[in-house]
Amino acid sequence: MPTAAIVGSAGYTGQETLDRLLGHPALELVALGSDSHAGSGAQALDPRLNGALPAFVPNAEAAASGADVLFLCLGHDEAAAFEPPAAGVVVDLSGAHRLRDPAVAERWYGTAPGAWSYGLPEVSPPEGRLIANPGCYATAALLALWPLRDALRGPVVVDGKSGMTGAGRGLKASTHAGFVLENVSPYAVSGHRHAPEVEQALGREICFVPHLLPVRRGLLATCYADCGGADARALLESAYAASEVVRVLPEGVVPEIARVHGTDAAEVGVFSNGDTTVAVCAIDNLGKGAAGQAVQNANLALGLPETAGLRLQGVLV
């Protein structure tokens, strides 16, 4: 059975990746890396974990474990400085290796370590062993827009809204309960680092503004575009007809965060508003927007069933 290790297990994406691996039928977890929890049992992260899991080790030790796949759940700067092992698949959940143009990467991340294969399976399946997991907003926007790319005319506007876990586990004034609760606020209005990911894939500029929602998790991207009269529904339904992850909803049904909460699925809806096509995508920012997609990419790179270990079933209220 292929083996897996997590580097940076203590953050939200690390914990969510661990959650997927706990239920994965074809991956064996051999190392949990965390510099802050090194030497402690897995229950130091969450009391629901028990002694059946490996104890935490320093991130460097987890990276050198020889696992067949490493999930790199570090900040952008740490991921940019990470030296991949000589063998094995590495999936980077940060933004460090997503952008191909060094000048663009330098502008948005302050470093340009080089692009890895951009792994959005429904748009650009991963190639090779070094995989850059897409950003959460970029994932939702591209799932809505990619099938329409050849029909797009004029400006494209993306309105994004995400739960507070998208900001990570670290403390910030903008994610304190007193700021978030009973409030919705835009941020990075003049430019967000996920926009160049979408532009890189589509080959065109977009106007993207994200907003912070007073919810823990979930993300909604509403995309406005002129498709020049093309049948946007037919394009989307054709693109995702065989997908087990992306559901194109029936006409008149809107995507909802509640239905994808805690899952690795995506919902896409498409509507007409005058001459404007409105394509909407809902995902869980920690699921299809992060850990679930990372496991999906690892499955493809290792030749495993694409949806092994993913949360795709159920009708929780």
Task: Say which of 73, 136, 227, 281 is annotated catalytic.
Answer: 136
pTM attached to this predicted model: 0.96
Q: Which residues pair with 221 in a beta bridge?
A: 160, 281
Say if residues 227 and 292 touch (Cβ distance below 8 Å).
no
Longest CA–CA separation in the chain, Å: 60
54: three-class secondary structure by DSSP: coil
Which structure tokens are listed for 222?
């509403």
Burial label, 87 (beta-carbon count in 10 A; 0-12, 13-18, 19+): exposed
**Topology at the third CATH level for domain 137-286:** Dihydrodipicolinate Reductase; domain 2 (3.30.360)
**pLDDT (tens digit, 9 = 90+) per residue, 104-162?**
999 999 999 999 999 999 999 999 999 999 999 999 999 999 999 999 999 999 999 99
DSSP 86: S
Query: pLDDT digits over 4-48, tens only?
Result: 999 999 999 999 999 999 999 999 999 999 999 999 999 999 999
**Residue 136 annotated to the active site:** yes
Fold of 3-133+288-302: Rossmann fold (3.40.50)
Domain positions in the chain are: 3-133+288-302, 137-286
Neighbours of 9 (CB within 10 A): 26
The closest alpha carbon to 198, from 187, 210, 184, 186, belongs to 210
What token pair was written down for 218? 């979930």
